[in-house]
Amino acid sequence: MTQPLIRPATAQDAEFVAWTIQAATRSHLKIGWFDIILEKPETEVLEFVRRLAVAETISWWHYSLFLIAEVDGQPASALCRFRAGDGYPLTGKAMTEVVGSYGWKDSDLQAMWKRGAYVVTCIMPGDDNWWTIENVATRPEFRGRGLTGLLIEHALEDGRKRGFTDAQISFLIGNEPAERAYYKAGFRFDAEKRHPDHEAACGSPGMRRFKRKL
């Protein structure tokens, strides 16, 4: 394998960013959060997420927060990094914007939030000033080549340059490859939260958070 190129994502990467987000939310399971809230075919789910990636609202799904590992000119792996207090609070606004782009009703949006409410049961209190890594995924044909670790190194360096002292990364309980990769990158267990509603909805009992110093 040639040396990977690590670069910031651009708007032209929106489709790959959408795939990354979808793969990350599915994790090791068959379905993810967007599958559950939208209840639509794969192509339509990916288009919805693509719109989130290029929305005017810069949430934690926006392409501008992503790093991409490119191999032989192909996007192979990606993640996003951001200050927790800048990315997560704009989730609702971004969703509202994209739903509006379809001309859907407010009742449609409320129904989506209701189907996806299980995630709220496992949200863990955190610090807005934590440097955060999310939406980590690698194309199947490129896995096992160290791309995730390389991307995390670059993401952590970005955090150091911006003056952050702590970094966090969260994942679904049961995603053992992710847990191993994050442990290898220097993260250690910080907290976890489990809830039966979470497991009933997606198949994982909850979320686990790792943290490390920068």
Tell me the average pLDDT across 40-59: 98
Q: What are the residue ranges of helices labelled H in 42-105?
A: 42-53, 84-87, 91-102
Q: Where are the domains of the chain?
A: 5-167
Q: What is the pLDDT of residues 91-145, one digit of tens each?
A: 999 999 999 999 999 999 999 999 999 999 999 988 999 999 999 999 999 999 9
The domain over range 5-167 is classified in CATH as 3.40.630.30 = yes
* Residue pointed to by tokens 């979320």: 207
| Extended beta strands in the chain, E state | 5-8, 66-71, 74-83, 131-138, 166-172, 188-194, 206-213
Do the beta carbons of residue 57 and residue 90 sit within 8 Å?
Answer: yes
pTM comes to 0.96
Report the distance separating Cα 50 and Cα 44, nearest Å: 10
Tell me the average pLDDT across 196-214: 98
pLDDT at 2: 77
What percent of the chain clears pLDDT 70, i.e. is strictly above it?
100
pLDDT at 1: 59
Do the beta carbons of residue 37 and residue 99 sit within 8 Å?
Answer: no
Report the distance separating Cα 1 and Cα 7, nearest Å: 17
Tell me the average pLDDT across 59-82: 97
DSSP-based three-state secondary structure for 212: strand
pLDDT at 191: 97
